[in-house]
Structures are given as structure tokens and as C-alpha cells.
Chains A and B, each alone.
Chain A
Amino acid sequence: MTQMVSIAVDTGGTFTDVTLVDRRTGALHKAKTPSTPEDPSIGFVNGVRQILTEAGVAPSDVSHVFHGTTVATNTILEMNGAECALLTTTGFRHVLEIGRHDIPRADNVYSWVKPKRPVAPQRIYEIDGRMNFEGEELEPLAEDAVRRAAAEIRSRGIKAIAICYIHSYANPAHEQRTREIIAEEFPDALISLSSDVLPTFREFERSMVTLLNSYVMPKVSRYVANLEQRIASDEISGRLLLMKSSGGVTGVETIRRQPVHTALSGPAAGVVGASLVGRLTGEDKLISFDVGGTSADIALINGHDPDITMEGNIGDWPLSLPMIDIHTIGAGGGSIARVSNGSLVVGPMSAGAMPGPVCYGRGGTEPTVTDAHVVLGHLPPHLLKGSMALDLDAAAKAIERQVARPLGLSIQDAASGIIEIANNNMVGAIRVVSVERGHDPADFALVPFGGAGPLHSGFLTRLLGMKGSIVAPEAGVLSSLGLLWSDLKNDFSMTSILRPPSYDLEKLTAVFAQLNADAIAWLDAENVPAAGRKIEWSVGMRYIHQGFELSVPWPAQAVNEGALRAAIEGFHAAHHQLYTFSQPEMPVEIVLIRVNATGQLAKPRTQTVAAGTAIEEARSGAQKVYAGGQWLNCPIYDRTRLGAGATIDGPAIVEQLDATTYLLPGQRAVVDVHGNLFIREQV
């Protein structure tokens, strides 16, 4: 029997969103259950049970369970990972303490404090043995020292062990032999090799990623095991696939070995959801904009896929793995507004889910962005379809006390100021992923989602002169929808420095062949049929003397002079696009060789909504909004009653169970056949 049901579970800080699609009927079901931070697998299985019941589907009909998780993210941000040990080359015990020996540019030499590293130097063991950057052994591995270290680490009860030796990206033999020895001495050890996790140069960054892999490994492994057990005990069939930071999913086997790839699992799922909106609407230049309670995640989608970076960060640490180029700022619905030395500051401190904004009436006393929205009339008096009342008075009083009075403003001007500053922070973040990457926001549409995304999108598109915004019908649960539409993805890369004029094409051929073989082996292991396979080659290139490479597609799956020339041309063009100039007379070198493998999975059918242009039937209420210095009448519409072709002029509020959309005066929304609200400026 063919299993035709897919389930997606996206675990957030407050809610776990679950969607189910039955590919036999095309029916899509959504559910929300409270998250269970102490053991997120409980919330996971609660959500799955609930949606199976609601959809009337048997557990045995499930083919895939997709999952976006924040277990690794929170472990790193909250610094509560496993006790780890790190094996390093003799002479480099302080590789993490020294880092890049800088104080960040935005900080002050008299007040900056160095962040505490995830492992103390006394748990870093120096091992003799040395490679050079071309992978030649200068000194053999001191196997005795490895055995001694393994015994000591074991005696201390530490199981998570990271190994990162100098130049191991060029030759992993010492790291691999070290793993063998540790496995003999300490069979229970959980081992991460830098040559597996990130085989590229720069020892601090590679050591940190490898260590973080070990740091999250026990928790993620335990979590994944819990999930598998719960799925099995509920007799749910189907394969569990986890979202990686790069926007592709992979099986649990890969995640057990390289859990650090899930560091941005949750946000990545949202961006995949936004690119799905692009595919449905035919828009291929989008900015994904996910606003939750404490933060906003922003990413650029040019073409159908989001931009990937190798230079991301998480918390205080660099994370040089392929990940969607997501820019996160501390601006969300719960961001607190306060006056400090005469300046109005919004965020990054947040009231979070508890106590939350003042208007939620759960004990919050600090005014938040959501409180400002309530005071200005951007939110209806009840959220979640009447199940949650908002306390307007309390919100207004908090803003008056903490912001309006200290600054000598009226309450509504203070509230407008809070929104303007939050918007301005968001504009800065959108610039980071667009103009700073050489893209003009005027060519892009914003895809807002998360509870508060569609409340801000109208302001942002206007400030940035963007094409408009597209609010999906599933705006509140777009991340879990993104999971349902995701593909299997994996990257295989290696640092290899190839210089003109020869570029050592023989070596290039050999490296590509090896990486390609690795990619095929992975696709085989994931059981991807031939028709669903996609393999792409690319190289990281830079001008000679430059320090940063750009990723350029390799135009064929063969190495020859013509392909090399085309790649170099592609590099000049990319450099011009990104940095406003290129230097065709300057020699170009290859520093990184990469193969991306994709395994396409069957996709759900797309939904359509019936036509219906009589918007009066969708009207559910009205209230006053404060805009441009005056109070205006503002109708409220029920999203579920809007048919295709319906047109709404702002100011207006469109409410739905899990999100609220605010249209500014002068903006117009049109509903398309998939139920998306396309909002533009009225001309």
C-alpha cells in the first residue's frame, strides 16, 4: 500500500505547529498545541496525535514526518550543552580562548567582557602529530597520547569528544585514526571530527563548529531517539526527516553524527515556507520575514531558493557551515520599549511568552511592541478568534508611564514612536540581507509571517519602497508548511587552493570526483530514486590576495578549460553584482570545491479558494486606528471569508486564527486564487 500522508511539526517557543497533508485528497489540516520545553518530544507527539485524529488518518498511512527543531539552537544560546573534551594539535590548547584575538568593532575596550567558551582549556588535550596545508605529514600522530587522553576523558565521565587538528581539512588521516583509537578505548564516546563537520581552513572557526557539534550531540541524539520511540509506540509509519540550517531535510542518521547542522532548523523551515509562497504566486524575488515574540528572522530569496552563507553566527560564536543567510534581530511582538538617558530604545529585551505583553494580562508590566499595536488600533480587541481578550487600558497606561511621560509625548505618539523604532530596526535588518548583498529591495516582495509579521509588513514595504507584501493564508504556521514542501539536501565541500595559471585541473577533477561519489552515496542511503536526484557543482573563488570567496556555479559536471573559463566569468559578474566593481585583469583563485546534492520528495497539491468579491460579507467588525496623527475608521475582515479576487483598501485589519494583517491607509490588498493577500500601494 502506498502511504500518502505527510506530517510536519515545527516546534516554537510557545506553540508547536503541526500541519498534515493528505496527498490522496489534497486536504490540508493545521493544528497548534502548547510546546513542552522540558521535553519537546511530548509536544511533538501531542500535536501529531491531535492532527491524525482531526484529519481522520491512520498512523500507518504516514509516509514522512518532517520536523523543525530548536533543541540545538536553544542548547547553544542558553549554554547548557554537554560537558565536552577537545583534542587539538600540540601547541594549540588555547585555540578557543584566543579566538581571533579581537574585541568586536561595535564594543568598547573598557567594558567588553570576553564570552565564556563552551569548554574550559583543562578539557582540551594536546596531541603530537602534524600535517602541512598540502596534507603532507610532518610528524606522525602520537597514538599513545590519544590513548592516555581517551582514558582520562573517560575517567572524568565526559562522553562528547571533539577532534580538530591543524590542517586536517587537507588530510583527515590523523583525525580518523584518533577516532579509531578512542573507539577502542572508550566505545561509548560520541566523537566529532572537524574533517567531517567542516573540512575548511581557519582553525578557530573549525574548532568551534566541531566543538559545538559535540556540545549539542547528546541532547539532540537523546531527543531524536525520544522522537523515534514516540513515533514507533504510536505506530506511526514513515520516515522522520529533520530540517537543517541550510533549508533541506535529512534523515536522523546524518543528524546523529552532525547535529550542529540543526542549529537554525526552525528559522530555516520558515524561509522554505516563504519560498513556497513565491513558487505559488510566481514571484521569485522575495524577502522572508518571520516575526515571533522575541526576534525577527529575515532572509532573501532570489530565484526559487534562499541565499546560503558559510559565515553565519549563533550566539557569540561563528558557525561556518552552509546555512540559509538568515539575519536575526531582537525585535518581536514582546520587545520591550524603554527610555534610557533620553533615548527611546525598543528591544532586544523581551517579555517573551511569559509574562508577555501588558495587554495579555499575564502579569507583564513593561510596555511592548504588541502593546503599542493595541493602543494604535492595529489589533482587534480579541486574538485567536475571541479566545483571548486584549487589555487596551493596561497597555495604554504602561506606555504612558514608561515612555510617553518621560519623553513628553502623548500616549498615541509614544506608541507610534515604539512602532517606528521597531520598524526602523527591521528596515536595517532587511537592508543587511538585501542592499548589503547587492540587491535592491524595490525588486522584492516581502513575505511576512509569524504572529506579528503581517502587522509590520505594510510599514516596511513603504519605507523600503518594496514591491509589496504577500501574506499567505497559513501566515501563522508557514514554517510547518515549509517543512511539507522541503527536499532532502546535503553539501559536500573541501578547501583546496588552486591557483592560476594551471589551476591543477587534475587535482580539481579528483576532488570533484570524490565529493560527487560522497553525494551519490548519501542519495543512495536516503533511497532517493534516480528521477528525484539533483547534483550541483560549485566553487568558492576570490581574486588573488582577497580573503573572502564567493560561491560560483561550476557550469558542467566535468572539469575542462571551458568550464573553468565560464566559472571565472561568473565570478567577475558575481563580484560586480555584490560589491559594485570587478577586476577582470586580476588573477582569480579557487579556494573551495563543493557538491550539493538534492533529493526531491513528492509535493502536496496546491490549494485554491473560490471566487468571491463581495467583501462586505467578510466584514467582522470595525474600530479606530491612529495613523498619520489622527484617528481613522478601520474595518475588520475575517480572512476565512475572503474569496479570490476580493479587494480591500486600507486602513483595514484582516484577522485570522493565528495572525493579524494591518493595511495602512493608501494600501490595497487583493486576494489571489491560492488565498494569498497581495498588498501594494494604491497608485
Chain B
Amino acid sequence: MNHIVPENQLRNAPAVTPVTLEIVKGALRSAQAEMERLLQRTAMSPVIREKQDYFCGLFDRDGRLLIGTKLPILGNILAPILEEFPIETMREGDVYWYDDPYLSKGGVSHTPDQVFVSPIFVDGKIAGFTHSWAHFLDIGGMRSGSTTPDATEIFHEGILIPPVRLYREGVLNEDLFRTFLRNSRLPEMSKGDVRAMMAAVELGRRRMIELFDRFGVEGAHIAFDQLIRQTRDYARAQMHEIFKPGEYRFAELIDTDGHGTGPIAIRMTLTATKDRIEIDCTETDDQTRGPINFIMHPSCVQMMFGIYAVAGHPEFMFNEGLLSIIDEVKLREGSVIQPRFPASLGQRSVTLSRVTSACLGLINVASPDRAMGSSSAYSANKLRGTWAGSGEAFLKTMAIAAGQGARPNSDGPDAIYYLNQQNYPVEFAEQNYPLVVKRYAVNPDSGGPGRWRGGCGVIREFEMRSETASISLRMSNVDFPAYGVAGGMSGRSGQFIINPGRPDERVLPSLQDGVVLRTGDVLRIAMPGGGGFGHPFDREPERVLADVLGGFVSPESARDEYGVILDVASETVDLEATKAHRAAHRWQTKLLHRRDYFDPDQWWDHADSVTHAKHARS
């Protein structure tokens, strides 16, 4: 069958048939799925195999992204390698590698993320690239696990790998690899993880070659062009739908850098004309001494909007097309989202999650009818210690789920860490570490009240059983909980509490390392929730009842915040009393809510007032 349609009425570029296009799409998707499955099943560190902190992707011969991840954390994966190693110097069997956030200009944004890239050759010419990306458990640095809230320069955060060539024509650079392993506290795991990532990259190469065999390199690239155009055209149209010509601004706040600075504001101003969108982030506050700096490649902002633009439309690929939906992203060097070398970056997720929230804020301000509540960020902690008896060291990473923001037509999901990152089962944790998990539950009332409720965070509470242990703590949305929209209220803050209910109970800081836990100490991690959508009095009483019975909302909150009068024992709502109560107590709302309602201008000014507007405005 002839796959090329020569006379395409709409465009001058050659095109493949819609059928071929779907087949290429399916082939790219299944190649990625296969690569990721292989990586997950063979990797050694629990970060990859249980938590699943890894991604794989494919590029075309010009380095354009064909299929990527639905996370806005990656910059341009390939560019740093092409800058160091021009395409014409590459050979079949080469594998390139880096983890340096500065030299990669945010290709990765903290050091534990390792990137491996392999060129794909057909008939001696480069036809594409394949990559794998994963978070390694330890690559050296000042504390085990490599990233720590204590770090104040990147040299504290493990070995920096500039873009290098690990394999030349299939031959491993042993010296380089041994040097890397020597810098890890867990070399065995690092070695196993590298092998798994290599196998994934190689599988991607084989699958792409099969695709090229079938459609030819040229034919496949015509399809790639079309897939990128499809995504870009749709996403750009969505952006102009959301952002009618005008200027929109939004500020979002970060609690602290853990070293005495905070709050810190991210300020974005979006200017839209009929055919151009520009985002100016230069008014964002300065970089910090603590490691919350986020070296943000402009493509991260593109991806944040891109994910939103194609939500609910799985027919569009996550490809290069999403990286040109904003015409310009202006950043200021020295700001917390464009730090200067050698600022520490290990806790960048704190800032990343607030940048995402700020982008959503711009959408909310521009198109209140499609507003969404903000999501709280996950908590990532590291527990370090030695086993009683053997004295052997252990390192456990802890990933704790928060609540997601409510949407205009559904509740925010409860208990979500992030896309595709799974928890450590309690039974796994107890098999491998000296602790007992006492409670793993939904944190009631943490979800922001609304017509649609914000998702609830979780509570995870455990008791130490080893002689000595210390933990690094990180939680966001403590001082500034996730905002609610369109009348919906903000989520509730989270907190770390040691020994709750005992005389020595105390609340711990939200970003700190070296917190000592002794045998018998109990740590409760109570996570924040997502923001709500719409007036809580508009929520169906039956839903509120189900939330109360299920432990998501307390009876007090049901009455005070939702205006629903119910009886838990009989599992019934008093509809008449609810109606009367709601009529008598209904309050006025504004677009945004964080402990109080704000309209967009008040919101911007409020951020200034709490950060004391550190630098002059032009």
C-alpha cells in the first residue's frame, strides 16, 4: 500500500496517510513502554524499582523529542550532548551520559538524575536518538542519598558528570565508570542501575530501527513532522483559547529555603496577542543559600502548559510540539529559577511544584471558568542509620503523597505522590528497614473545601527500631497551602510531628536535615491537601456525607465549611436543616483562596507584602 499522499491540499509538506500516522504513533508508544518496563524490572535501587523514578524517551535525527514524559522536570535532554559531541563525531554503539545540571542548562535539574543517550544509525547515518533517565540512590556528596537540605553548593550534592562518552563503538570507558562507582556509597546498586538503563537504551534503538525498516528513515520523519505539528497546532490553539489578548500576572510563594530565607516569590507575567504568547519570570525573587534553587530550562514552562493543554486528549503525543507553544520565556539569572553556579539544587522539587502552581494560576486568572485548584507537593525524606546488632548502615528514601487540586468537574485525587511514582509498601519497608509503620491513612480535612473538594494528603506514622537514626525532612505548603479557586478554599497545611500525644511531642521544621530519631520515637508525617473548586455550599450533601463516613472530612468541617447537617451514626443528611443553614450562612467569594479570599490584584500585592518586594519594579 502506498503510504505517501503526494497531493496534500492543506500543506506543501509531504504527508503520510492518517493510517501510517497512527501506526507510527503506536510504535513510538509501545517502544517507550517496553523500554520503561525493562528498566523498572531490572534496576536495583528501590528508587527506580518500587518508587519508579525513571523515564525513557525517543528523539528524531534532528534531536526533536518524539515521545517524552508527562512531567515538566526535564529540559532539553539531548542538546548538552550535541553541544559537546557534534553529530558528525558520533558512531554506532556510542553511549553518552551526564548528570551536571549547570553544564546541561537544566537538562537535568539535580545531580542524582542520570541521563544516558545513544544515537541510532541507519546505513551509517544518524536516524534518531534514544534515552533513559533515572534517579540514583547515592552518587556521593555530603550525606548519604546525595541530596540534603543542608547543602549550600552543588559540590555537596555528589559527583558531577559533564556530558561524557561512556561507550565508544560499544566499548566501555572503564576508567570513567570506575571513578563514578568509587564516588557512590552504594556502588553495587549504581552498577546494577546503569546496566538496566543501558539495556533500556539498547531496546529503544532496536525498536526505532524496526520502525525505520518499515517506513524508511525519510518516511518515518515525515510522520514525525506531522505528529509534532498535530500536537503543536492543537496545544497552541488551546493556549490562545485560554489566553485572550491581554496581560496576566500571578505570584506563587515558597515557604523557605531551610537556611533562613523565605517566603520566596515566583512572579510570572504573561502577555498574549492574537498570535504570540510571552512569559516574563524576571521579577521572581533571588536564588537562595539553601538547595531549593531550580535550574529551569524554558522548556519546563512549555511542558507545564503543554500537559494542561492536551489533558483529556490522549491522541496527541507528548513531543517537541509542546515545546513551542509559548513564543518566549524570559528568565533572570540569579533568580531562584535561574541560579548561578555553584548554587545547590538538591531540593529543587519544592520550587518546581510552585512554578507549576504559578502556571496554573495564570490559567486561572485568564480563564476563571476553567480554573483548577493548586496541588500540594509531595514530601521526600531520607532516613539514615545503622542496624542494631550488625551496625550496618541503611538509607531509606521516603516518598509521601499529598492532595491534588480540584477541577471544574471533579474532585482533586486523594493521596497522590506524582505521575507514576509508586509508594513503598508497608510490608516492603518493614522487611528492609528497622521501623514499624503505625498508621498509613488519609489526612482528614486536608483537602480544600469546595463544590469539588481538593484531594486529601496522607498521614504516615512510623516508629524507629534501630539504635541510631537521623532523618532529613522536606515538606512544602506548610506556610502557604495550596490555593483554592472560584470560591473553593485552600487545602490544609501539613506538618512533621515527633512523638505525637506524648509529653515530648514537638512539631519539626519543614525543611531540615539531621533530625535525630531514637529507638521508640514515632514520627508522624501529616501531608497537606489540594485546593478546592467552587463554593463548598454548592457541593451535594450526599457527597459530603460520603466524605465524612469515609474519613476525608470531619463532621465539624461538614457543618462549618460545607454547611451540611448530618448524623454519622445513622449515616443520613438532614436536608431541610442543611438548606436552612446554607441559606443563612452563605458567604461571598473571590477567585482565589488561601486562608482568605483574594481577587487577582490583591493576590499579587499580597505576595509582595509577605516577601517585602526585594527588588525594584520597572
Contact = CB atoms under 8 A, between A and B. Distances in A.
Interface of A: 90-95, 97-114, 120-122, 130, 132-133, 138, 166-167, 169, 201-204, 339-345, 407-409, 413, 416-417, 420-421, 424-425, 428, 431-432, 435-436, 497, 543, 545-548, 575, 579-581, 583, 586, 628-629
Count class of interface residues, chain B: 35 or more
B417 A579 contact: no
Looking at chain B's contact residues, is the secondary structure mostly helix, strand, loop, or mixed?
mixed
Given A92-B426, A546-B49, 16 more contacts: A94-B440, A101-B423, A102-B419, A105-B420, A108-B70, A109-B307, A110-B312, A138-B436, A201-B425, A425-B26, A428-B26, A435-B34, A581-B199, A583-B195, A586-B188, A586-B192
B316 interface: yes
Nearest to A580: B199
B418 A103 contact: yes
Given A91-B438, A343-B315, A547 B419 contact: no
B19 A420 contact: yes
A114 B421 CA distance: 15
B311 A111 contact: yes
A582 B341 CA distance: 40
Given A101-B401, A103-B418, A417-B18, A545 B442 contact: no
B415 interface: yes
Interface in B364-384: 372, 375
B41 A548 contact: yes
Contacts of A628: 1
A166 B549 CA distance: 23
Contacts of A98: 401, 414-415, 423, 440-442, 458
Interface class of chain A by DSSP:
loop
Contacts of B311: 108-111
A310 to B, nearest CB: 13
A297 B428 CA distance: 33
Nearest to A407: B18
B18 to A, nearest CB: 5
A409 B19 CA distance: 11
A94 to B, nearest CB: 5
B209 interface: no
Contacts of B420: 102-105
B52 interface: yes
A551 to B, nearest CB: 14
Contact of A545 (B23, B45, B52, B310): B45
Interface in B184-239: 188-189, 192, 195, 199, 202-203, 230, 234
A197 to B, nearest CB: 16
Contacts of A114: 413-414
A20 B437 CA distance: 56
B419 A497 contact: no
A91 B439 contact: yes
Nearest to B195: A581
A132 B26 contact: no
28 contacts: A90-B439, A91-B437, A94-B415, A94-B458, A101-B399, A101-B415, A101-B416, A102-B52, A103-B420, A104-B420, A109-B307, A109-B418, A114-B413, A133-B427, A202-B425, A202-B427, A203-B425, A343-B18, A344-B18, A417-B19, A424-B26, A435-B34, A543-B44, A546-B43, A547-B49, A580-B202, A580-B203, A628-B1
B49 A548 contact: yes
Contacts of B425: 100, 201-204
Given A341-B234, A431-B30, A580-B203, A91 B401 contact: no
Interface of B: 1-2, 9, 17-19, 21-23, 25-26, 30, 34, 36-38, 40-46, 49-50, 52, 70, 188-189, 192, 195, 199, 202-203, 230, 234, 307-308, 310-316, 372, 375, 399, 401, 404, 407, 410, 413-423, 425-428, 430-431, 436-442, 458, 461, 546, 549-551, 571
A103 B70 CA distance: 11
Contact of A120 (B19, B23, B310, B550): B550
A579 B38 contact: yes
B430 A579 contact: no
B440 A92 contact: yes
A102 to B, nearest CB: 5
Given A102-B420, A416-B1, A629-B1, A94 B551 contact: yes
Contacts of A432: 30
A103 B401 contact: no
B307 A110 contact: yes
A132 B430 contact: yes
A546 B44 contact: yes
Nearest to A341: B315
A364 B23 CA distance: 27
B419 A105 contact: yes
Nearest to A431: B30
Given A91-B437, A424-B26, A579-B38, A101 B458 contact: yes
Contacts of B313: 341
Nearest to B417: A101
B396 to A, nearest CB: 13
Which residue among A95, A105, A169, A497 has the maximum number of chain B CB atoms within 10 Å of its CB?
A: A105
A546 B40 CA distance: 9
Nearest to B36: A105
B23 A94 contact: no
A543 B1 contact: no
Contacts of A581: 42, 195, 199
Nearest to B21: A343
Contact of B18 (A103, A104, A342): A342
Contacts of A111: 311-312, 407
B18 A166 contact: no
A92 B441 contact: yes
Given A103-B420, A341-B234, A546-B44, A421 B19 contact: yes
A342 to B, nearest CB: 7
A424 B37 contact: no
A430 to B, nearest CB: 11
A340 to B, nearest CB: 6
B432 to A, nearest CB: 9
B199 A579 contact: yes
B428 to A, nearest CB: 7
Contacts of A108: 70, 307, 310-312, 314
Nearest to A423: B23
A353 to B, nearest CB: 27
B202 to A, nearest CB: 7
Nearest to A91: B439
A92 B410 CA distance: 26
A103 B442 CA distance: 17
Contacts of B571: 122
B22 A343 contact: yes
B310 to A, nearest CB: 7
A91 B428 contact: no
A104 B431 CA distance: 26
Nearest to B427: A201
A436 B441 contact: no
Contact of A543 (B192, B312, B417): B192
B485 to A, nearest CB: 13
Contacts of A102: 52, 416-423
A106 B314 contact: yes
Contact of B50 (A95, A340, A547): A547
A202 B442 contact: no
Contacts of A132: 430, 436
A169 B21 CA distance: 49
Contacts of A586: 188, 192
A497 B413 contact: no
Contact of A110 (B22, B43, B407): B407
A583 B193 CA distance: 12
A547 B430 contact: no
Contacts of B372: 110
CB-based closest 3 A-B pairs: A547-B49, A91-B439, A417-B19
Contacts of A103: 413, 416, 418-420
B564 to A, nearest CB: 16
B42 A579 contact: yes
